[in-house]
């Protein structure tokens, strides 16, 4: 997402112009022009990424997310080493001629982290396991292409409309992502993309202060829902104070304005009633609320320079039935949910992590709250283009105990239920050139199970990027 659109100006024009654009949340290092003719422009961007990862358990692939650390035993034992290029990305932007003041563009972005339906183990941590249709070697060296973003966008006089797959509005993604060498996301961090119809209006209060108001109709988390999900939010950016912030491992080093944001989502679920063989259903309403902030602690002296600046970011969310927006979270549920021993005979078409049936056959939406805080410091110019990050994230569910049985399992799942995931991490990034970047990172992940057991994974990672 760090290379969306064309390379933009970074000063006040960025704050008041391209900042109003939905796409401008991720600035480009550079773009390669493929066509520039008759006011039509086609450009390409992306990066090549190589990750070397050593874990103390066998819990994860490249992405940690909010998946649990394995308990001690066969799957959580001696450790794991992975070398991967699967997070490499390629993007294309098509800019159309301006018509009646409307600028428009189409955008396609791909990576190599795709799901292979022929290899059931590819969706799990145990790649190359017995019974898989894809070898461990081909999993890493012949990865599957995946669509990340695919949308059209049009802008005119502060109004932006978007149709297609893009970041969810809840949490005003991607403005407040924790920056890590790890393939995003880390625990306790909203990170989700969905097909949607979105409109956003930007209102200027001064040359540097901008209020953004947005609303979106989004793909519901359950296809059997009667209605789309509704997301809405407000964000206020104060450009008179800014500091350096690189919002992703491949993002540009540039000054970002101080900002605060609120957002929410409402969604509906159709749940088959336990003990019935007909289409009898009950309808439940889920929700999610998020508050985000970016605070320049050591501000940029001119709003452009990033050296010797310190940024502090934080996010808090609370919700019920919004767990699929937190990548990897299941709480220990079976996937699909209708594999549960207490699920009704009617099919329940729903991903794990949203809700489940308790031992009595009653359905509960999972209550989830998250918190993360993250600091980023850009060293003085004597250290060249170097910055460090440190952060903490947590996800907690307060009603998993009411869903699980007395053994700490969700009936039918075959795995232990967990209600808390935490991470603490630190890293250092360095740009050798505007196109060559490297980083080292340590991350400690802890999962708390309902049985009272805590499992810990220590991750050591070295990564390199070629940005274009």
Residue 17 lies in a domain: no
Residue 382 lies in a domain: yes
Average pLDDT, the chain: 87
| 146-156 and 32-37 strand pairing | unpaired
Residue 401 lies in a domain: yes
Q: What is the mean pLDDT of residues 445-468?
A: 94
Measured between alpha carbons, how far is 12 from 422 in angstroms, rounded to an integer?
Answer: 38
Residue 364 lies in a domain: yes
**Collapsed DSSP state (helix, strand, coil) of residue 120:** helix
Residue 415 belongs to a domain with what CATH number? 2.40.160
Length of the chain equals: 468
CA distances from 257 to 212, 260, 289 (A): 14, 10, 23
Could you give the number of structural domains in the chain?
A: 1
What confidence score (pLDDT) does residue 28 get? 47
pLDDT at 424 over 60: yes
* Burial group, residue 152, by CB count within 10 angstroms (0-12, 13-18, 19+): middle
3-state SS of 347-402 is: CCCCCCCCEEECCCCCEEECEEEEEEEEEEEECCHHHCEEEEEEEEEEEECCCHHH
Q: Which two tokens stand for residue 369?
A: 């709250």
More confident residue, 73 or 449: 449
Q: How confident is the model at residue 412 (pLDDT cuts 50, 70, 90)?
A: low
DSSP class per residue in 426-454: EEEEEEEETTEEEEEEEEEEEEEETTS-E
Q: Which two tokens stand for residue 28?
A: 């480009």
Of the candidates 246, 148, 251, the one whose C-alpha atom is nearest the C-alpha of residue 191 is: 148
Q: First vs last Cα of the chain: how many Å apart?
A: 12
Measured between alpha carbons, how far is 377 from 238 in angstroms, rounded to an integer?
Answer: 20
Q: 71: which residues sit within 8 A by CB, 6+ positions away?
A: 416, 449, 453, 455
pLDDT at 87 over 70: yes
Residue 460 lies in a domain: yes
pLDDT at 415 over 90: no
* Burial group, residue 278, by CB count within 10 angstroms (0-12, 13-18, 19+): exposed
Q: How confident is the model at residue 119 (pLDDT cuts 50, 70, 90)?
A: low
Q: What is the mean pLDDT of residues 226-253?
A: 94
Residue 250 lies in a domain: yes
Q: 130: which residues sit within 8 A by CB, 6+ positions away?
A: none
Residue 74 lies in a domain: no
Say how many C-beta atoms besides its own lie within 10 A of residue 52's C-beta: 14
Of the candidates 465, 329, 327, 441, the one whose C-alpha atom is nearest the C-alpha of residue 387 is: 441
Residue 224 lies in a domain: yes
Full-model pTM: 0.89
pLDDT at 183 over 70: yes
User: pLDDT, tens digit, for every residue of 255-270?
Assistant: 999 999 999 999 999 9
Give the residue numbers spanning the domain of 260. 52-60+157-467
Q: How confident is the model at residue 31 (pLDDT cuts 50, 70, 90)?
A: confident
Q: Which two tokens stand for residue 142?
A: 């012949």
Measured between alpha carbons, how far is 61 from 52 in angstroms, rounded to an integer?
Answer: 11
């Amino acid at each position: 997402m760090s290379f969306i659109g064309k390379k933009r100006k970074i000063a006040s024009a960025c704050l008041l112009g391209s900042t109003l654009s939905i796409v401008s949340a991720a600035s480009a290092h550079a773009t390669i022009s493929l066509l520039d003719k008759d006011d039509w422009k086609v450009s390409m961007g992306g990066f090549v990424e190589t990750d070397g990862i050593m874990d103390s358990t066998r819990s994860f692939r490249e992405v940690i997310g909010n998946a649990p650390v394995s308990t001690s035993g066969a799957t959580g034992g001696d450790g794991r080493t992975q070398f991967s290029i699967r997070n490499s990305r390629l993007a294309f932007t098509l800019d159309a001629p301006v018509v009646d003041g409307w600028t428009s563009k189409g955008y396609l972005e791909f990576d190599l982290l795709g799901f292979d339906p022929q290899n059931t183990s590819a969706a799990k941590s145990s790649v190359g396991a017995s019974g898989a249709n894809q070898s461990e070697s081909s999993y890493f060296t012949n990865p599957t292409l995946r669509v990340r973003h695919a949308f059209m966008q049009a802008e005119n006089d502060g109004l932006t409309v978007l149709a297609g797959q893009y970041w969810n509005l809840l949490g005003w993604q991607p403005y407040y992502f924790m920056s890590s060498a790890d393939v995003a996301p880390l625990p306790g961090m909203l990170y989700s993309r969905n097909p949607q119809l979105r409109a956003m209006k930007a209102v200027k209060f001064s040359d540097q202060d901008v209020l953004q108001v947005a609303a979106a109709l989004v793909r519901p988390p359950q296809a059997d829902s009667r209605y789309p999900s509704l997301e809405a939010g407000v964000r206020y950016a104060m450009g008179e104070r800014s500091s350096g912030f690189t919002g992703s491992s491949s993002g540009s080093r540039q000054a970002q304005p101080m900002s605060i944001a609120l957002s929410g989502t409402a969604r509906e679920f159709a749940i088959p009633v336990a003990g019935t063989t007909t289409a009898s259903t009950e309808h439940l309403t889920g929700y999610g609320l998020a508050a985000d902030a970016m605070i320049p602690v050591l501000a940029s002296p001119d709003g452009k320079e990033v050296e010797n600046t310190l940024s502090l970011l934080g996010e808090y969310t609370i919700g019920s039935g919004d767990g699929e927006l937190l990548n990897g979270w299941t709480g220990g549920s079976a996937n699909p949910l209708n594999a549960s021993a207490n699920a009704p005979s009617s099919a329940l078409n729903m991903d794990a992590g949203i809700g489940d049936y308790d031992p009595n056959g009653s359905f509960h939406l999972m209550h989830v709250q998250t918190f993360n805080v993250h600091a980023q410091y850009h060293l003085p110019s004597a250290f060249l283009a170097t910055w460090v990050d440190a952060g903490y994230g947590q996800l907690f569910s307060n009603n998993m105990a009411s869903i699980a049985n007395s053994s700490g399992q969700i009936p039918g799942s075959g795995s232990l239920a967990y209600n808390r995931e935490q991470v603490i991490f630190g890293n250092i990034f360095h740009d050798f050139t505007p196109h060559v970047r490297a980083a080292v990172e340590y991350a400690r992940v802890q999962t708390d199970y309902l049985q009272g057991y805590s499992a810990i994974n220590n991750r050591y990672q070295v990564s390199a990027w070629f940005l274009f």
